[in-house]
Structure 1
Amino acid sequence: MAAPATSITVAVPRIKLGSQGLEVSKQGLGCVGMSATYGPPKPEIDMIKLIHHAVDSGVTFFDTSDFYGPHTNEVLLGKALKGRIREKVQLATKFGVQFKDEKIEVRGDPKYVRDSCEASLMRLEMDYIDLYYVHRIDTRVPIEVTIGELKKLVEEGKVKYIGLSEASASTIKRAHAVHPLAAVETEWSLWSRDLEEDIVPTCRELGIGIVPYSPLGRGFLAAGPKFIESLSEGDFRKRFPRFKPENLEQNKQIYLHICEMAARKRCTPAQLALTWVHQQGDDVCPIPGTTKIENLNQNIGALSVELTAHEKAELESYAAADAVKGDRHAFMANTWINSDTPPLSQWIAE
């Protein structure tokens, strides 16, 4: 049997993300793990080297947020993307989530929108943000009010395109009516498919691109239960329900099935799971995160793997909803399931 395709040299295609003109590499790079959330920050020099390797390999779409660190991930991206390299890349960042009194607070009021954008531009040392997301939806503020301020930032040239992260179909429609959205970022992987009923059809009806985060199940679909044992105490993933001991044994079976098919396909489990996401459509751009060049190369190699309709259905049967145990997120209250906002008329009346 041939060795798994962990470092195949593949030309990374480019796609139109949404219908507003944004063009990105077909696969992006999630950068949160470089600075926070998944254990201690990684050495800056190594992460800059990784980012440069990504650009040289054709991966030019980078995803960050002012919440990552907080703030330090944007500073890292700013350092890595200075100079001529800036014009080669598409930088997405987010606002709307902050720690306050040791709790997560979500904000979408106009002043916070503008202040956050100005602060991100300073940390990134950039004149504009290619794609600016509302990281989470402030359920106290009509989405029209939040998008209205973002529209002004677009008109001022500080933001090129706008998007939402973890937003319901109704919120997406209301936002898009104020200013066209280029993308919606939300969790989508072989074992996280709750968005397929309403959100994906809504995005396609409106011409909005889809950016799946955690396409490898936060690492589980790539490495299985063994990686959980090696997580540091500060790793946010320790809090996720699907990784709890009471759920792990059943979820392990999903990974084992993926491994079996990957062996038949002569690819890695990560490549197989990532290929499934890619094959959801030409309007889909997953952003798997990594802090290692060899993993980045492996993820790019997924672009050379193909699934037949039968194989795709077989994979989906392994991770059917009744086969997955535990919620997909540690804080389900801060996902699209609870993202609807008050009507604009209520805000005006107040």
Structure 2
Amino acid sequence: MTTRSLGPFQVSPIGLGCMNLSHAYGQPPSLEDAERLLLRALDLGVTLFDTAALYGFGANETLVGQVLAKHRQKFTLASKCGMQGVGFPDGVKRVIDGRPETLRATCEDSLRRLQTEVIDLYYLHRWDKQVPIEESVGALGDLVRAGKIRSVGLSEVSAHTLRRAHAEHPIAAVQTEYSLWTRNPEIAVLDTCAELGVAFVAFSPVARGFLTGQVRDVSALDAKDIRRAMPRFAPATYAANLGLLDGVAEVAREAGCSLAQLALAWLLQRAPHIIPIPGTTRLDHLEENLGALQVTLSAAQMARLDQVINRHTVQGPRYNPGNQVEIDTEEFSA
């Protein structure tokens, strides 16, 4: 398998987003099934595993540590801080907190759960806008110097914030949603990453299942599935967006690949500093996703995909207003 640069590391061109194994998309798989998937990814050559303190409120880091600690030298480990679960009388709630003392404490908790002495790439999961980005990133830089982490990343930030952060401490990667149906990074941050030598890690590269063509009826989603709160997955909006898949499927047939492979191949060919991290709970989907590495799209096919599905043809914002205020990513004007 070829590799792509991520800070000081060389990683597989497609990584594994581990969130699905503990969080966000309904009932997670059993421990046995999750372990089987993580180990199969490692066997297939995946060398970038991505988790976070938030996922399952620590459960995902615990899972990754329990399963992969004995294989620690075989992969690059990424986790995130600055957004985690905090206990309240009525239950655990998600809290954004980028204060240096919180980031230091979260890192210690993550190291313990992950059963490792050092985290290779540690992202600020969300910029806490009550704390200057320089303070949060400065604290992460202190963790690098202390040997707790090896490199610093940011998630869901604008090009302007990236530049401020990079001036404080070198940023190895920016992680943001990017796919055929989410083009916001193309406004500025994707090019800024290339200019600064920062890897761009694309989460939700198959559009939370939309680009696989296998999510047809959103009313069947689990009651706790986070997509139920996303405007693009509202029944009427989603039904309209499904019509876009006909043109996408036509290109996939020509390329001799599945829809998911097409979506991932499109990302891989957009730029060499892009590293998609699809998540899944199924072995067959894991193997299908990695098959995208064998897909080559022509310039004409890339252009047709851009014509069929883009910011003008996709209906609905990706986040509801409550989640939108939490991010710093550039947005297209209406």
What TM-score range do you get, normalising by the shorter chain? over 0.9
1:241 and 2:227 aligned: no
Number of the residue aligned with 1:151: 141
Give the whole-Å Cα distance in 2 for the aligned partners of 1:275 and 1:266: 12
Give the TM-score, by structure 1 length.
0.90
Match of 2:11 among 24, 33, 40: 24
Which deviates more, 327-336 or 208-217? Answer: 327-336
Give the whole-Å Cα distance in 1 for the aligned partners of 2:65 and 2:20: 16
Q: Shift in Å at residue 255 of structure 1?
A: 1.7
1:66 and 2:66 aligned: no
Match of 2:44 among 42, 46, 57: 57
Structure 1 segment 1-350 matched on structure 2, within 5 A: 12-17=1-6, 20-83=7-70, 85-100=71-86, 104-226=94-216, 228-330=218-320, 331-337=323-329
| Consecutive unaligned residues in structure 1, runs of 5 or more | 1-11, 340-350
Contact 2:54-2:94 at 8 Å conserved across structures: no
Which deviates more, 220-229 or 275-284? Answer: 220-229
Give the whole-Å Cα distance in 2 for the aligned partners of 1:316 and 1:285: 19
Give the whole-Å Cα distance in 2 for the aligned partners of 1:215 and 1:32: 14
Larger RCO: Structure 1 or Structure 2 (Cα < 8 Å, ≥ 6 residues apart)?
Answer: 1
Give the whole-Å Cα distance in 1 for the aligned partners of 2:124 and 2:240: 35
Residues 173-216 of structure 1, C-alpha deviation per residue, up to 9 Å, x if partnerless?
01111110110000000010111121011111111000000000
Q: Shift in Å at residue 226 of structure 1?
A: 1.8
Q: Shift in Å at residue 223 of structure 1?
A: 2.4
Q: Shift in Å at residue 325 of structure 1?
A: 0.5
Q: Shift in Å at residue 229 of structure 1?
A: 4.2
Distance 1:108 1:57, change over 3 A: same
Residues 41-82 of structure 1, C-alpha deviation per residue, up to 9 Å, x if partnerless?
210111111111111100110111000001000000001112
Contact 2:265-2:292 at 8 Å conserved across structures: yes
| 2:248 partner letter | I
Give the whole-Å Cα distance in 1 for the aligned partners of 2:282 and 2:159: 35
Length, aligned pairs only: 325
CA RMSD of aligned residues (A): 1.5
Residues 3-42 of structure 1, C-alpha deviation per residue, up to 9 Å, x if partnerless?
xxxxxxxxx321112xx41221111000111011111221
Q: Shift in Å at residue 99 of structure 1?
A: 4.0
Q: Shift in Å at residue 254 of structure 1?
A: 1.5
Give the TM-score, by structure 2 length.
0.94
Q: Secondary structure at the match of 1:159?
A: coil
Contact 2:185-2:330 at 8 Å conserved across structures: no
Q: Secondary structure at the match of 1:16?
A: strand
Give the whole-Å Cα distance in 1 for the aligned partners of 2:313 and 2:271: 24
Which deviates more, 256-265 or 88-97? Answer: 256-265
Number of the residue aligned with 1:342: none
Give the whole-Å Cα distance in 1 for the aligned partners of 2:274 and 2:77: 17
Q: Secondary structure at the match of 1:39?
A: coil
Give the whole-Å Cα distance in 1 for the aligned partners of 2:240 and 2:218: 15
Give the whole-Å Cα distance in 2 for the aligned partners of 1:182 and 1:13: 19
Give the whole-Å Cα distance in 2 for the aligned partners of 1:31 and 1:242: 23
Contact 2:209-2:215 at 8 Å conserved across structures: no
Contact 2:12-2:46 at 8 Å conserved across structures: yes
Report percent identity of matched pairs. 42
Give the whole-Å Cα distance in 2 for the aligned partners of 1:163 and 1:93: 9
Q: Shift in Å at residue 304 of structure 1?
A: 0.7
Q: Shift in Å at residue 225 of structure 1?
A: 4.1
Give the whole-Å Cα distance in 1 for the aligned partners of 2:117 and 2:60: 17
| 2:28 partner letter | P
Distance 1:227 1:71, change over 3 A: farther
Residues 268-312 of structure 1, C-alpha deviation per residue, up to 9 Å, x if partnerless?
111111111111111111000001111011001111111111110
